[in-house]
Chain A
Amino acid sequence: MPTTISSGLSRTLRLRHGELYLTAEIVEGLMKALQLIFSGDPTVIEITVRSILVSGSATLLSVLWGIPIATVLGLKQFPGRFLLKGFFNAMLGVPTVFLGLVLYMFLSKASPLGFLHILYTPAAMIIGQAVLITPITVSFVTNAIESVDPEIKDLAKTLGASETEASLAVLRESLNGVVLATTASFNRAIAELGVALMVGGNIAGFTSLLTTTIALETSKGEIALGIALAIILLLIVSAVSITINLIQRRRT
């Protein structure tokens, strides 16, 4: 009996110790993280800038091809429209690692697009993220366009607009939805891990992003850098949302 008690006690003590240790580590990590952010650590800056550039470019790409697709889906009646809309809706929740795997298979040396030699480059990550967020852009913008009064297009035409100009007028009416779609797309891109890891490879100084670095550093036990980058990631996502919100409020 005494042995059991003592072993139980020692386990509890050990656990306590572990918790304390973990708490201390977090506090220490947080302090170091703030230090890293405010001292303008070059690695932190580099990773942040790269993340913004990669996800920004991906968002730009998805908007570039997503808005025309959404305009057609929202304004034109054609066979297969319903299926196509369903496809984009279904793809909203695609697991990032699955998409990363598919892209990896397409971009690796022996595969159809292997000649491009872009696997493990920022270009691969941009394309990957753009593909990932396209369903968000398309679905959100399509919904926004569909919620605009269908007669707005006729109105534009009676004021002298051509078919294309009238479609643009509808798109402008759904601007709030387009802005929301762009924000949501960017936030999803910058916060995703699977695609960036699988086609970017988290090569330090070349393809490491906020999310991939957080994952790697934490697994290595470098919790301070992980926390610093996580704080920055949260700041970026919130700042983008708040800014957009403020702009929209001023507009209406």
Chain B
Amino acid sequence: MKALIELEDISKVYEDITALKQVNLQIHECEVFNLLGPNGSGKTTLLRIIAGIEKPTSGEMRFKGSRVENDNLNDVRLKTTMVFQKTLLFNISVYKNIAYGLRLRERSKKETDQKIREVLKTVKLEGYEKRPAKKLSGGEQQRVALARALALDTEVLLLDEPTANIDPKNVSIIEDALSWVNREKKTTMIIATHNLFQTITLANRAALLLEGSVVKVGSPQEIFTLPPKLLESYMRLENVFSGVSKITGEGTSLVDIGDGVRIETAFEKGGNITVFVRPEDIIVSANPIVSSARNSFEGQIVEISDLGAVVRLRVRVKTGRDFIVQITKRSFNDMQLNIDSKVFFVFKASSVQAL
């Protein structure tokens, strides 16, 4: 694979804070690269340097083999774009927001119109052209920001936790759009994320960042061989369980995660295994549920986190066997849940993924 972006000994110091320490990384053409790390580990700074909006204190960045300097910074900027964690929109219509970068690239009106229709379709916002961008909901605004970046058809797309502050419905639209872009357009993507699912489903390679240094670079499979306790400091490890798996002979496996808690999966794989379930794939009820879902549990709520439109509950099935489930604020209020409330939850065997 050809290296598209090469970072050599990149350091960044802000007055008395060292944000990056001698980072060496190569990003290949057409790959999806994940930056994993806790808050303050330098992910955003690294993306900003690659985007050409921040200058490293020392070190060198090469784009397609040529060193990025003041003279060619603008050219590199035209080939790269970024979606910020905090949604940033101009206070104008959706159309004009997306047209901004196209106008800088001197595209014709016809081309611009067509492109805008196309990207709005990708983020499922068809017909939103004339709406004032800042009047949309938070998730829709982030989708406009993504559409604006996609419209430019840049070689590199940088995403800084693109789904960190939005609700599950918008998250899945953005995830779908990203995998479509990677599949169809072969755009090189560098994504800073906490989201395990995005790493597994999207990334070819990932780097672990800690306190401004790259600790490990490798494929998601290699990353996930690290001990879960260590991994936990890099990403949100929710509903990740290790145990011994037995093939049932009916096309499924049963993973015993200890204390008699067994999770049924839709794949056949025996032996030691680590599996996970997305919190948003779990259905919660205040009463026992009869359903086709193969996994059915009951437990007690031990923690409630309010994330705005959604609420995350930590449900204890047995000591040390906690499941994180995510429900909308409305369901939460309707069910009148509280700490210590007894709840029932189910998820399909096919929602269980192996790491």
Residues of A within 8 A of B (CB): 149, 151-152, 154-162, 165, 169, 172-173, 252
Question: For the complex, is B180 an interface residue (Cβ under 8 Å from A)?
Answer: no
Query: Are A160 and B101 interface neighbours, CB within 8 A?
Result: yes
Question: For the complex, is B28 an interface residue (Cβ under 8 Å from A)?
Answer: no
Question: For the complex, is B286 an interface residue (Cβ under 8 Å from A)?
Answer: no
Q: Which residues of B contact A172 (CB under 8 A)?
A: 90, 92
Q: Which of B49-105 contact A (CB under 8 A)?
A: 51-53, 74, 77-78, 80-82, 84, 86, 88, 90-92, 100-101, 104-105
Query: B52: which of A157, A169, A252 is its contact (CB, 8 Å)?
Result: A157
Q: What would 10 more interface pairs be, CB under 8 Å, given A157-B77, A160-B74, A252-B132?
A: A152-B90, A155-B84, A157-B52, A158-B77, A159-B100, A159-B152, A160-B81, A160-B105, A161-B77, A162-B74
Query: Are B100 and A156 interface neighbours, CB within 8 A?
Result: yes
The distance in angstroms between the C-alpha atoms of A173 and B80, with both chains bound, is 23
Q: Which residues of B contact A149 (CB under 8 A)?
A: 88
Question: For the complex, is B278 an interface residue (Cβ under 8 Å from A)?
Answer: no
Given A154-B48, A154-B53, A165-B104: A159 in contact with B88 (beta carbons within 8 A): no
Question: For the complex, is B148 an interface residue (Cβ under 8 Å from A)?
Answer: yes
Query: Are A159 and B81 interface neighbours, CB within 8 A?
Result: yes
Q: Which residues of A contact B105 (CB under 8 A)?
A: 160
The distance in angstroms between the C-alpha atoms of A165 and B101, with both chains bound, is 11
Closest chain A CB from B215 CB (angstroms): 27
The distance in angstroms between the C-alpha atoms of A158 and B152, with both chains bound, is 11
Q: Which of B171-200 contact A (CB under 8 A)?
A: none
Closest to A156 in B: B100
The distance in angstroms between the C-alpha atoms of A169 and B74, with both chains bound, is 16
Closest chain B CB from A53 CB (angstroms): 33
The distance in angstroms between the C-alpha atoms of A162 and B71, with both chains bound, is 12
Q: Which residues of A contact B81 (CB under 8 A)?
A: 158-160
Closest chain A CB from B75 CB (angstroms): 10
The distance in angstroms between the C-alpha atoms of A154 and B92, with both chains bound, is 17
Shortest 4 CB-CB contacts between residues of A and residues of B: A159-B101, A158-B82, A160-B104, A155-B88
Closest to B47 in A: A158
Closest chain B CB from A156 CB (angstroms): 7
Closest chain A CB from B260 CB (angstroms): 51
Query: A158: which of B51, B86, B90 is its contact (CB, 8 Å)?
Result: B51
Q: Which residues of B contact A161 (CB under 8 A)?
A: 77, 104
Residues of B within 8 A of A (CB): 48, 51-53, 74, 77-78, 80-82, 84, 86, 88, 90-92, 100-101, 104-105, 132, 148-149, 152, 158
Q: Which residues of A contact B101 (CB under 8 A)?
A: 159-160
Q: Which residues of A contact B74 (CB under 8 A)?
A: 160, 162
Query: Are A173 and B86 interface neighbours, CB within 8 A?
Result: no
What are 7 inter-chain pairs, A to B, with CB distance below 8 A? Answer: A157-B51, A158-B149, A159-B104, A160-B77, A160-B104, A161-B104, A162-B74
The distance in angstroms between the C-alpha atoms of A159 and B78, with both chains bound, is 7
The distance in angstroms between the C-alpha atoms of A156 and B52, with both chains bound, is 12
Closest chain B CB from A178 CB (angstroms): 13
The distance in angstroms between the C-alpha atoms of A210 and B308, with both chains bound, is 58
The distance in angstroms between the C-alpha atoms of A139 and B37, with both chains bound, is 42
Q: Which residues of B contact A160 (CB under 8 A)?
A: 74, 77-78, 81, 101, 104-105, 152
Q: Which residues of A contact B132 (CB under 8 A)?
A: 252
Query: Are A169 and B77 interface neighbours, CB within 8 A?
Result: no
The distance in angstroms between the C-alpha atoms of A149 and B88, with both chains bound, is 9
Closest to A169 in B: B90
Q: Which residues of A contact B90 (CB under 8 A)?
A: 152, 155, 169, 172-173
Closest chain B CB from A133 CB (angstroms): 26
Query: Are B148 and A159 interface neighbours, CB within 8 A?
Result: yes
Q: Which residues of A contact B82 (CB under 8 A)?
A: 158
Query: Are A157 and B104 interface neighbours, CB within 8 A?
Result: no
Q: Which residues of B contact A158 (CB under 8 A)?
A: 51-53, 77, 80-82, 149, 158
Query: Are B88 and A152 interface neighbours, CB within 8 A?
Result: yes
Closest chain A CB from B17 CB (angstroms): 18
The distance in angstroms between the C-alpha atoms of A79 and B82, with both chains bound, is 32
Closest to A252 in B: B132
The distance in angstroms between the C-alpha atoms of A173 and B148, with both chains bound, is 17
Closest chain B CB from A168 CB (angstroms): 11
Closest to A148 in B: B91
The distance in angstroms between the C-alpha atoms of A155 and B105, with both chains bound, is 15
